[in-house]
Structure 1
Amino acid sequence: MSFLADDARCPCTSGDVYGSCCGPLLAGRRAPTAVRLMRSRYTAFALADADYLLRSWHPSTRPTSLELDEDVRWMRLDVVDHVTGGPFDDAGEVAFAAHYRHDGERGVLQERSRFVREGGAWFYLDGVTW
């Protein structure tokens, strides 16, 4: 797992610094919305933080373990669309495009992810790629 200084730009490309964007979420603070959870999960992929990815995954769909490809370099996140998932909702969907490089080749992962909120905490449920 990689670590990032609080004053570094956040990998989720929100424009904020890590210490006031995804850093607190990866450290244990709850995401206020589905979009924020999705951004923090992208950051966890970029930093190879499999523990956070598993913690933020809903128990009904969470795998027992997660192997991350350390050769994938996550470059940019674009939030394409979101449906509900606000601070007063119990469910939401977020569509995104995650740009990466692997073995010198560029790629993009596009997914519409579903999120649920239980006990005040947002969780990634599942997603469909396109």
Structure 2
Amino acid sequence: MIDWGKVQTAEAKAAAAAVQARGAWKAQRASSVAQITVTTAAGNSFDGDEISQGRMARAIIGLQAAGDGATLRWVLADNSVIQATAAELTEALTLAGRAQAELWVEEGPDSPQRSCLAKANKVVAAKVVRPVLGRIAIS
């Protein structure tokens, strides 16, 4: 016997596939963001992942509060240690933010985000038709 409650339309299957594709794209994006490294004009390479960006922002605030000439020890992407200034950390933070922004939004009509939303909206807008006890129920 067919369990009509489990039957999926082609549109529902396409929407589910679009959601899955978007999930895969988001996972890939997160992996790419986690691997960001940036190099400042001074030649220092900084980790640029989201956690590192937060650390840089907090360090910049502290260094600015400490005044001109303030530095702090910073571990670079290659694990070497430097005395970082607010200016260099600001440069690294700006570069990391730009790199993340490039990864964050995938443009174009065929992007997984746009495709997922378009297909999901079609399914929500469409009426679902299924037989119920020999009659057709529209919900």
Q: Which has the higher strand share?
A: 1
Normalising by structure 2, we get a TM-score of 0.24
Q: Which has the higher helix share?
A: 2
Normalising by structure 1, we get a TM-score of 0.25
